[in-house]
Chain A
C-alpha cells in the first residue's frame, strides 16, 4: 500500500520541484488527465474566441474598399482608427459615460449592500431580490422596456407629470438621451454589483463589529471605516467590471436607437461604430481594426486602473 500510494500522493512541494527540474512520468500522466478535463472548454474557447480573434486580427491588417480590391496594409487601419474623429468621438462618449455611470452604479450598489447587511428581517431578503431582479432581465428586453417607459406616448411620465400640471421631459431627445441611458444601465447592473459587495460584506468576521461597538463606534463609523475598507478588493473588481462594460457600451444604445434614431447616431459608441461598419457598410476590415483598437483602449484603461488601485485590490 505504502509503496503504491507514495508516488501518486507526493507532496505539492516535491511536485513543483519536479516540474522545475525533471518532470517524472507519474506527474506527466496526471497532467494529461488535467488536460482531458480542460479539453471541452479549451476546444470551445479556441474555436469560438481565439481563432476568430486571430482571424479578425488578420483581417484588420488588410483593406478592401468598395471600389478597390483586397490588399495588405499592415498597421494602416490602426493609424486610421486612432485618427478617426468618429471613433475618437465615440471613445469620448464612453469616457463620459464611465465618469458618470460607474460612480452612480457603485453608489447605488454599495449603499444597498450596506443597508441590507445591517437588516436582518424578511424585508431584507425581499429587497435583495427586488434590487437584483433587473439584472435577471436580459439586457435587450430591459432596453426595449425602457424604450416604452420613455416613450412620450406610452410612457407613464406624461401622466405622472400631468398630475402636477407639468409637461414631461422628452427622455428620448438629444439632450436627455445621455441621462436616460445612464438610468437604464444603473438600473440593470446595480443589483448585480450589490450582490458581489453584499457577499464580501457577509465574509467579514462579526467579531470585528463587536470590538468596534465596544470601542464606541456608531453604525455609520462601522460602515465607512470598517466595512468599506475591508471589502475594497471587491469594490475594485466591481469597478473593473463596470469599466470594461462601459467602454464596450453597445446593447442599450443600439436597442434604444430603434426609437430615437436622431439622438443616437450609428457611431454613438465605438462598438456600435464597429458593428455598423461591418454589417451596414460592408467594411469588415476596418471594423476589425476598430474592434481591436477598442480592445487596446479597454486593456490600457483596465491596466491603469488596476495599477492605481493595486493596494486596495490586494494585488500588491
Chain B
C-alpha cells in the first residue's frame, strides 16, 4: 500500500515537477539539429532547421519521409505523443509550464477552442493561411477557424455514414433504412426475426458521436468566437438534442440497441462478430474496422448514407477530424506554419495518408479528384464508398462550433446519458441537467453566458 500511497502522492508531485519545467530531456523545443536524437523518423537533411511535430496519424512515418525528402530547407522531427487525450494531456501540461510543447501538433478540431483560449495556438492568417483556404473542404476549414482567425490546417475529416452487414440484413429481410423512422422499423424487424444481432450500439460515452447525431437534428450546442473569448452561448438542451435523445432512449428501452461503452474490447469484438448489424460510422470507420484483428472475413459489409430525419432535407454531419496547429512555443513560427500547411497540403502526402492511413482527406485536390471518388474498397466488396456515401456527406457538412471546455462538456454528457440509459431520468431531464451543469461551470470559469 505504501507504493500506492507514493504513487498517489506522485500526482501532486508529478504535476508540480512537470510544471516547474525541470523535466529535462523531454522537451526538445526543436530548431537545433543536435536534438535530432529524439525524432522517431530519420532526418534526411541534417543541415536544415527542424520542426518538431506531434501526431498519431496511421502510417505517418511515410508521410514524414516524403516531406523530408521533398524539402531541403526544413525537416520534420516527428514524435508520437499518444492519441487524442493522451497527447492533449502532455500538451496541456507543457502549456502550463511554458516549455516542452512541439512546434506543430495534431489536434482534433473539437479541442481547438480549448487550446486557443489558453493562448497556446498561433493564428495562421499572418503566415498566409487564407491563401490556401480554397484548397480545403469548407466545413473542415470552418471547424479549424474561429471568426477571422485560422488556428489550424485541416487534414482529415469524419463525414458520417452507415456501415451495415448486408448478410444480416438479407437474412432478416430488411431493406437499407434511409430515415430514422425506417431505422427503428428495421431494428424491430431484426429483433423479431430472432437474429442474435441488434441493429447497433448507442454508446453512453459516444462523446463526439452523440454530439454529431444531435447536430443532425439541428442542435447547435455552443456559440463561441475566439475574438470574444469571455462570452459563450450554451444550448445543449435544445429541441434537436432532445428529439434525438428521446429517439434513442426509446430504442434502448425497447431493447433494440445495445448500450456498450464505445472503444472498449467488448465493443470492438461486437463490432466485428455480428452482434451489431449496423455501425454508424465516420469515414475513418472502415479503416478502424479493418484494423480490428478479429475482423470476420465472412462478414459482408456495405456502406450507405446516414439515415435522415427528413429525407427531403438531408443534413450531413461530421464525427471527428483532425488538424495541424502551430503552438505558441514554436521557435520559428513561420517555418512551423509552412510544415503545418505543407505536410498534407500536397497530393503526394495526402495520397499516402489516404492509401496507407485510410484518412478521409480535407485537401480539395485529392478530395475532388476522380481517383478518390472512384476508389474501390475491397473491404466493401469493391463498393465505391466515397462516391456512394462519404463525398456527399463531406460536401454537405457546414462545420460546427465547440466549447472551450469540450472535455468537461463531454464528460458531463456521458454521465447524463448513462443516467438516462439506467432509467434514472428521461431524455429531456438529462439534457436539462446537462445544461445546468455546463452553465454553472462556465460561470465558475469566468465566462459570461449569452
Contacts and interface: CB of A to CB of B under 8 A. Distances in A.
Interface string A254-274: 000011111101100001001
Interface in A65-107: 65-68
A84 to B, nearest CB: 10
Contact of A262 (B9, B230, B261): B261
A215 B411 CA distance: 65
B414 A262 contact: yes
Interface of A is mostly: helix
Contact of A66 (B404, B411, B415, B417): B404
A63 to B, nearest CB: 10
A266 B230 CA distance: 26
B227 interface: no
Contact of B266 (A55, A153, A192, A278): A153
B4 A251 contact: yes
Contact of A282 (B96, B270, B417): B96
Contacts of A295: 12
Given A67-B446, A262-B418, A274 B11 contact: yes
Interface in A16-68: 48-49, 51-53, 55-56, 59, 65-68
B20 A271 contact: no
A242 interface: yes
B264 A262 contact: no
A233 interface: no
Interface stretch (B85-93, B177-185, B214-222, B312-320): B85-93
B404 A259 contact: no
Given A52-B16, A261-B204, A250 B8 contact: yes
Contacts of A266: 411
A153 B272 CA distance: 13
A275 B20 CA distance: 17
B75 interface: no
B4 A56 contact: no
4 shortest interchain CB distances as A-B pairs: A262-B418, A52-B16, A67-B446, A245-B1
Interface of B: 1-5, 7-9, 11-17, 19-20, 85, 89, 92-93, 95-96, 114, 117-118, 204-205, 229-230, 261, 264-266, 269-270, 404-405, 407-408, 411, 414-415, 417-418, 421-422, 444-447
Given A56-B12, A67-B229, 19 more contacts: A51-B20, A52-B15, A65-B444, A66-B447, A67-B447, A139-B7, A151-B265, A153-B266, A154-B269, A174-B418, A244-B1, A248-B5, A250-B7, A262-B415, A263-B418, A265-B411, A271-B8, A278-B15, A281-B408
